[in-house]
Chain A
């Protein structure tokens, strides 16, 4: 407040052109003006759609039937509980989350520790962590579908050179799921590594020197110095990774299309199928409400952690 009163009095002396006076707003009016575009956009793309989502989930609304929307209460949800594909895709989503989030953390940690070595030239290391992050998920899905190709894929080639039998990856639900999870871990671990690496570089070297003096080994130093100090950045990265894992779509869509059958289909793929392919907006909404609630749980945990931190 003090700054604005000061500037107003100064401006009177200087006599700026009259039209700028119109733009000389109070702090409060200015705040409203500056936040308005963001608020408008968020109401159109998030707030209104969220309300609309809950509303539509109580209606039978199929664009293919051409019938007007009809209120059906909890029918969509009842249908969902009896729908084995809903349970299967939800389970697949949870499974992918449970495998790829810790997987990306472990691989990311290893990559970060390697990248933290005192290399003379830094840029190739940095670039090798940035490229997987920048590569679109859908591209990664296609590239790895080619990697895991049963006849001409490089993965089976390497396996065979090592004397192991090749695998027909996309014919069995388990191998297909394994291929998908490996791809997701590859794609997401680099970002994890970048976050952890940034954390590693803020840990003062003197801590390790002191531990050396005390005779603590490398493993013990890692567990007692590195991990606790990295915890804050790891937690935040893990929460974001969890939320994006719950939305997994691109990679399975590109690699298996959900197959064989629906064995690698995710909840996001099922929502997309019901909404865009079947144009069953009512059922698609009910499915989306479930995913919404799943990720809200994670967000609430996140907000609580942030609040306790500061």
Chain B
């Protein structure tokens, strides 16, 4: 750690780094930590004035209540299944499309890439009415499919663009060798190219999963059946008409944050590289 670094803003030195670290950590972690603290407090402690910061007598009662007041396990299950299934569908479709774009000398390559970028900026909100009509006509309201299909579209462009750049990094010779050994092109794709790009495919999968896990508007609009609600929609149900049981809501929020937080903690480097390389969506 020499002090010769001359980056803008890098007024080097230990105290500055310490202050910077505190600002970054508080900014990033405080909201989630605060919700964790709230979820461990009793209703009585919550209404103390001045407010208490750390829970005096941490209790898990709010978590019990979160699961008993509403079918939180169902919300979790629905969110997980919708996110997982749409991630698989996204990966399958974008692997095929990305391979065609990266490897086959397409005549309309430029046009296809422009179309993908246009779709990536497409405001899905504006299609609320027609999608609602389509799902109603196909009898898909209150099913996972009503969410899986739009969520797949949500992540398809980002994942395809990411995979195109990964596929272009694989030497063609490897595929040719596989084909000489009697593989078809499709066989070579799934036996050689995809395994070699596994880290890239996996990163694209995480992004698709987080996108689907976060989505709120379509889930709110298409799945009103309590048994089919996803987490973001279900969490609103804890508020009564006049009461807002914050400790219980906080407990439900913590339960909803944990799965994605685990993914992020384990795969942080990969997620950052994926986000900054191909996937631009925030």
* Partner-B contacts on A (CB < 8 A): 1, 3-4, 6-7, 10-11, 14, 16, 20, 23-25, 27, 30-31, 34-35, 37-38, 41-42, 44-46, 48-50, 52-53, 56, 111, 113-120, 123-140, 142-144, 146-147, 149, 151-154, 157, 160-161, 186, 188, 190-192, 194-195, 197-198, 200, 205, 208-209, 212, 218, 221-222, 225-226, 236-237, 239-241, 243-244, 246-247, 249-250, 253-254, 268, 271-272, 275-276, 281, 284-285, 288-289, 291-292, 295, 298-299, 302-303, 306
Contacts and interface: CB of A to CB of B under 8 A. Distances in A.
A284 B275 contact: no
Contacts of A200: 7
Interface in B112-163: 112, 114, 117-119, 121-134, 149-150, 152-153, 156, 160
Contact of A143 (B31, B94, B106): B31
A16 B51 contact: no
Question: Chain A interface mostly helix, strand, loop or mixed?
Answer: helix
Question: Chain B interface mostly helix, strand, loop or mixed?
Answer: helix
Nearest to A124: B25
17 contacts: A3-B172, A11-B179, A34-B97, A37-B96, A48-B130, A118-B10, A130-B264, A131-B32, A154-B53, A191-B282, A218-B9, A221-B8, A226-B8, A246-B123, A276-B221, A281-B132, A284-B128
A50 to B, nearest CB: 7
Contacts, number: 331
Interface stretch (B58-66, B183-191, B197-205): B183-191
B87 interface: no
A94 to B, nearest CB: 14
Interface residues of B, number: 106
Given A16-B182, A222-B8, A117 B16 contact: yes
A209 B10 CA distance: 13
Interface of B: 1, 5-12, 16-17, 20-21, 23-25, 27-29, 31-32, 34-35, 38, 46-47, 49-51, 53, 92-94, 96-97, 99-100, 104-106, 112, 114, 117-119, 121-134, 149-150, 152-153, 156, 160, 172, 176, 179-182, 184-187, 210, 213-214, 216-217, 220-221, 231-232, 235-236, 246, 249-250, 253, 256-257, 260-261, 263-265, 268-269, 271-272, 275-276, 280-282
